[in-house]
Amino acid sequence: MSFPKDFLWGAASAAYQIEGAVDEDGRGKTVWDVFSHTPGKTFEGHTGDIACDSYHRFEDDLAALLTLGVKHYRFGISWARIYPDGRTLNEHGFAYYDKVVDLLLQNGITPWVTLFHWDTPQALEETGGWQNRETATLLAQFAGVVAEHFRGRVSHYFTLNEPQCFIGLGYEAGWHAPGKALTGEPLLACWHNAMLAHGMMVQAVRKADPSAQIGLASCGLGCIPENENEADIEAARSAMFSFGMHPEFSLFSQNAFLDPALLGHYPEHPFFDSPIITAEDLALIHQPIDFIGLNFYNAYIVRAGESGPEHVSFHRGYPRTAIRWPITPAMMYYCTKFVYERYALPVYITENGLSCNDKRYLDGKVHDLDRIDFLQRYLREYRRAGESGVDIRGYFHWSLTDNFEWSNGYEERFGLFYVDYETLERHPKDSAFWYRSVVESNGENL
Ligand code: NOJ
């Protein structure tokens, strides 16, 4: 029972969720600055203005990484620091990331850069945002400039983080920035432009740094079988790749992103029947990449019904995390396997974790047994995927520290380190020490 010998262990974060310093060194406003400052959009009006103040406290984040003993860190570079209005280059924007990358390298930690984690410059939102194809071109320009700047220091990139969220929640459900509620063709335009951005970013990064390793970070509700029999397993597989199977979140399917990016076509569904999708565009989106990143949190339970796959309700009292997401460890086996069988590329879990009602106990420590139990269950299933032949390469825990959980603000705590938002100090939770033992033993202790 073991993980592959050269398996990577890491932790993850994203620019807007941790950095703060929203007005420093020429940074432009992003859609999240505007959205979080709009009354009623985030929990108790929380914003990312200060967040974890990582912009001034990266050394503290580094200390946290060293405590974990991880050798890989996934973090974001903010587009609006480098291109404040999306179009005009701001060289000062690199200073912070130069420091981050150099300190990581000096400490033997490999940087994995996410090029887009939802923080579109507000100026571009004002010219149509993701409804405008130019946004894709400009994001690719940023990607190329970053890869050029860090050539020789950064060699792993993710293009988009979860278009399922920044389009699905941002432009369809309206829960995330910029808070729009589109349907039909306008929504499809957003989706298609995001897909084009992915393809163009791959091209731009490859051109700037031909030796870079490039992937993407996809999410979507996974599907696991109710029972481990062939019919239910097949039903889960087919539901997982059926666009529209999850009616309340139509864009939350893995293949809405992975099919065009890796197979060169959209899922078969009337939503995608549109003249705006051309063969040239599909070719542009379909660029060779090196790995798939999966952000895995929870899955639907599916069974083979009379007339095809059906969702099974979670039973009363089903275990859930603090944010009320169901705990479904089997997704780390089944969903990873389904993805690998369909797309045949190495897989990294680029996010996995949970929010807990963490607090510092009277002894000053954060006893988060729920997190340890959750991770142990999920990681065992991930290991099982590897043992069954899936090419699993690594695991990035979400998140290194507690941070700004988008519209949930600071109400949700996903970190291995507890952030005291009064003092901005980071305190290792019990899970941090536990994760260190997993990293040290390459999961032998699970
Ligand atoms: C997905 C996102 O990439 C990340 O930003 C978010 O905080 C986590 N999942 C938890 O919701």
The yes-or-no answer on residue 162 being catalytic is yes
Cα of 145 vs centre of ligand 1, distance in Å, is: 26
Write down the pLDDT at residue 250: 78
Q: Ligand 1 test: best mutation among 16, 74, 162, most atoms within 8 Å of CB? A: 162
3-state SS of 230-245 is HHHHHHHHHHHCCCCC
pLDDT value for 11: 99
pLDDT < 70 regions, the chain = 247
- pLDDT (0 to 100) of residue 244: 82
Is 398's C-beta closer than 6 angstroms to any atom of ligand 1? yes
Question: How many other C-beta atoms can be found within 10 angstroms of the C-beta atom of residue 261?
Answer: 25
Q: Kindly report whether the peptide bond that precedes residue 186 is cis, defined as omega within 30 degrees of 0.
A: no
Q: How far is CA 237 from CA 54, 100, 257, 334, in A?
A: 40, 40, 16, 8
Ligand 1 atom 11 nearest Cα: 405
Distance CA 130, CA 78 (A): 17
Q: What pLDDT does residue 312 have?
A: 96
The pLDDT assigned to 170 comes to 97
Token pair belonging to 379: 């990681």
Residue nearest atom 7 of ligand 1, based on CA coordinates: 405
Tokens of 56: 């001034």
CA-to-CA distance for 164 and 288, rounded, in angstroms?
Answer: 21
Overall pTM > 0.85: yes
Domain 8-441, second-level architecture = Alpha-Beta Barrel (3.20)
The single residue of 19, 125, 172, 351 carrying the catalytic annotation is 351
Name the 3-class secondary structure at 342.
helix
Q: How far is CA 12 from CA 129, 304, 314, 395, 427, in A?
A: 26, 36, 29, 10, 17
At 1 the pLDDT is 74
Residue 113 has phi, psi (to 5 degrees) of -95, 125
Q: Please give the pLDDT value at position 9.
A: 98
Ligand 1 neighbourhood includes 405 CB (under 6 angstroms): yes
Span between the terminal Cα atoms of the chain, in Å: 9
Rounded to the nearest 10 degrees, how much is the dihedral formed by the CA atoms of 255, 260, 262, 268?
A: 50
**Ligand 1: which atom is nearest the Cα of residue 118?**
5
What pLDDT does 220 receive? 85
> Which pairing describes strands 156-161 and 110-116: parallel, antiparallel, or unpaired?
parallel
CB 114 within 8 A of CB 158: yes
pLDDT of residue 304: 98
Nearest alpha carbon to residue 139 among 151, 157, 153? 157
Q: Is 310 a catalytic residue?
A: no
- Dump the DSSP string for 302-320: EEEETTEEEEEPPPTT--B
CA neighbours within 13 Å on the CB side: how many for 82? 25
Tell me what pLDDT residue 249 has: 74
